[in-house]
Every structure is written in C-alpha cells, then in structure tokens.
Amino acid sequence: MKIKSIIRGAGGFVPGEPVSNTDLIARGVDTDDNWIRERTGIMTRHIAPPEMMTSDMAIAASEIALKNAGVAAADIDLIILATTTPDNTFPATAMKVQTALGCTPGIPAFDIQAVCSGFIYGLATANSYLQTGLAKRALIIGAETMSRVVDWTDRSTCVLFGDGAGAVVLEAAPEAEASGRGIISSHLHADGRYGPKLYTDGGVAMNQRAGLLQMDGREVYRHAVTNLAEVVDEAILQNNFKYSDLDWLVPHQANIRILESTAKKLDMPMDKVIVNIDRYGNTSAASVPLALAEGMNSGKIKEGELCLLEAMGAGFTWGAVLLRL
Ligand code: UT7
C-alpha cells in the first residue's frame, strides 16, 4: 500500500517584540536602515531574551502545530528538529521538546543539522519514515537562536539574521484516501566544497566553542540564485508539472532579491510567494516552517493547493519539497 505524508497543521513562534534596523543602530551596530531595506528587504527581526533557548521556541511552535493539527502529543511517534543553534552540543534539542510536550518516552527523536536547509532535510527524512511505515505521525521543527552565533561587530552579517521556530505535524495516509494531498517529492543536495563560504569559526572538535558566523555574502548570493533555480526545476519538471500549476512558493527567507529572482524564474507574481523576511530576517532552519505556518494559518494557502518549499544555506546545502496541501 502506497503511503502519502500529509501536513495536518503548522505553527510558528518568534520571541518578544520586533527589533527594527534603527533599534540595531541604537544597540551600537554601524549600519543604516536604507542599506538593509534595499539590499535585503529586512525591516525587523526578533531576538530571543537571554533566558530563552532554541528548545523554548521549538516547544512553543510545536504546541501551536499540534493544536492546529488536532493531534495529541501522545500520538506523535517521531520528532525531527532542524537546528544549527542547539541548546547543548548534546543531547539533541529534540529530546527537550519530546519531554516538554509530553510525547511518549521511547519514540525516536533527533536533531538534523543542514543549517538553512535543515527543515527541508527534516521534512524529506520524516517523509521517508512515514512511507516505509517506521512512523505514522511526525513532528518536524525548524528552530534557531541565530542571535547567539552572529558576530555583533560584523555589520555585513549581524543585521541579516533573527530568532524563531516553526513546526509541522506530518501524518501518513494511504494514497487511496489522500485525495491527491501530501508530499509529492523531495530533492536534497549538498556540496562541501563551499564550506568556507559560510561557516562558524569554531566547533567542539576545533576549539571547544560554537564560534561566530562568517560569510562571503556575494558568493553565497550567487550560488543561492543558481542552485535554487535548478532545484525548483528538478521538483516541478521531473514531476511533469508546469510552473503555472504551482499555487504557492514557500521559500527560505535569506534576501528578498533571491526570493524575487526565484519567483521570476517560475513566472510567479510575488503575491503567490510567502514572504516574511521583512519582519523576521533570516531565521535559518526556522524560516521555511515559519513561512508555511503563516501561509496556512492566515488562510492564504488552502487545502489541495500545490506548494513548493525550498531553501539553500551553509554547507552548501539546498533542497526542495513539492507537496499538495
Ligand atoms: O541563509 C543562508 C543564505 N544566505 C544568503 O543567501 C545571503 C546571501 N547574500 C546576500 O544576501 C547579500 O550578499 C548581502 C545582503 C549579505 C550583501 O549584499 P551585497 O549587495 O552583496 O553587499 P556587499 O557585501 O557587496 O557590500 C556592499 C557595501 C560595502 O561597502 P563598500 O565597500 O562598497 O563601500 C559594505 O561595507 O555595503 C556595505 N555594508 C553595509 N552598509 C551598511 C555591508 N553591510 C552593511 C550594513 N549596513 N549592514
């Protein structure tokens, strides 16, 4: 029996009040509002207070996702949490989510580290679990506290990132009962040759520190545009769809110009692209599920619509998931 993985509900969480570009200047960052708006599209981001950790935001987003899905925590049998800013080096942050939500002890729960593409990797992995019968109801989360890993003295990177979390509940259904809904295909890629273009200058094995984010912005931008253009083609054309079949693009929010470039390639108007970079900045693995949760919970994205989720980030990693909601 063929199984389809259907998204039953989604939730998003961002901490505290929005922090504007002007607020960053007041905090000592040598930047200006116009530069950030024009080059990136970012107007505000959210920054977690010192006592808040990645797990707290993951738990908050998951609770909303479970409620919207109408699924009890006890019915979840797999947790995958995508993050590059875990609470601890170990155990995985997914463990804290499992315990806090009251999920059944003993179910598999683990973190995935693919930086900004982490949620796409997590969703693809969960889909494989569901399709092979290893799980029936999975919670997939993207959660990040990027504010703790950026170098606040480096204006070329610190203004770009924000904190937050997004989560979805994915449920297995026999294809015959899925009415065409569910994940159609997932496409994951990585190319380690570009590691030095976006990385932290630390790590457990390297120097016992998390390190601070370093980025060659122009190079990342150039590859993001190309890799995303290729992966959207892979997802749409290999499934014998046309660009015009797509109802929604739910992209990783790294730079409004990258979003516009992908939309242009797909010949999609920007009102068919879920955009929240203006309010949240780049929240790494949280960005796609935050956008999806906003799209679904605002009533924009409707059941049965064809959605393309895509992301590109450090590694480089990139990927896409095509699904019918
Ligand atoms: O999520 C992972 C994927 N990440 C991405 O996709 C990010 C990709 N990269 C980008 O989005 C863009 O490359 C950036 C937004 C990071 C930078 O935009 P850019 O148009 O490539 O600017 P640039 O790095 O070439 O910098 C141009 C100028 C420089 O000044 P000079 O040397 O031309 O006088 C910088 O010093 O902008 C200056 N600058 C700033 N000015 C004010 C850099 N950062 C800032 C800042 N405020 N925050």
189 is catalytic: no
Options 2.30.40.10, 3.40.50.1820, 3.40.47.10, 3.50.50.60; CATH of 1-325: 3.40.47.10
Average pLDDT value for residue range 57-79: 98
Sign of the torsion angle spanned by Cα atoms 128, 307, 301, 117: positive
Q: How confident is the model at residue 287 (pLDDT cuts 50, 70, 90)?
A: very high
Number of neighbours of residue 108 by Cβ within 10 angstroms: 14
β-strands 137-145, 78-82 pairing: parallel
The alpha carbon of 157 and the centre of ligand 1 are apart by a number of angstroms equal to: 8
Q: Please give the Cα distance from 235 to 250 (Å, whole number).
A: 13
The alpha carbon of 40 and the centre of ligand 1 are apart by a number of angstroms equal to: 8
Ligand 1 pocket by C-beta < 6 Å: which residues? 31-32, 35-36, 39-40, 116, 155-156, 159, 217-218, 220-221, 224, 254-255, 258, 282, 312-313
pLDDT in tens, 201-230: 999 999 999 999 999 999 999 999 999 999
Q: Which amino acid is located at 59 in the chain? A: I
Return the pLDDT at 1: 87
Q: Atom 21, ligand 1: which residue's CA is nearest? A: 218
- Domain ranges for the chain, please list them: 1-325
Average pLDDT value for residue range 6-22: 98
Q: Does the predicted model carry a pTM greater than 0.85? A: yes
The atom number, within ligand 1, closest to the CA of 158 reads 48
Return the pLDDT at 47: 98
Return the pLDDT at 268: 96
Return the pLDDT at 309: 98
**Quick check: 272 pLDDT over 90?**
yes
DSSP letters of 237-259?
HTTT--GGG--EEEE--S-HHHH
Buried b (16+ CB within 10 A) or exposed e, 217-248: beebbebbbebbbebbebbbeeeeeeeeebbb
The alpha carbon of 215 and the centre of ligand 1 are apart by a number of angstroms equal to: 10
34 is catalytic: no
Q: Please give the Cα distance from 135 to 166 (Å, whole number).
A: 21
pLDDT-above-90 percentage for the chain: 100
Return the pLDDT at 25: 98
Q: Please give the Cα distance from 235 to 217 (Å, whole number).
A: 26
The atom number, within ligand 1, closest to the CA of 30 reads 47
Q: Please give the Cα distance from 251 to 191 (Å, whole number).
A: 20
Q: Atom 39, ligand 1: which residue's CA is nearest? A: 156
Average pLDDT score, the chain: 98
Q: How confident is the model at residue 111 (pLDDT cuts 50, 70, 90)?
A: very high
Return the pLDDT at 248: 98
Catalytic residue of the set 116, 187, 255, 276: 116
158 is catalytic: no
Number of neighbours of residue 182 by Cβ within 10 angstroms: 22
Q: Please give the Cα distance from 201 to 172 (Å, whole number).
A: 40
3-state secondary structure of 308: strand
Return the pLDDT at 186: 98
Torsions phi, psi of 171, nearest 5?
A: -125, 140
The alpha carbon of 37 and the centre of ligand 1 are apart by a number of angstroms equal to: 11
**Six-digit token string for 298:** 């605002």
The atom number, within ligand 1, closest to the CA of 221 reads 8
Return the pLDDT at 160: 98
Torsions phi, psi of 44, nearest 5?
A: -140, 165
**Six-digit token string for 171:** 């449920």
Average pLDDT value for residue range 266-283: 97
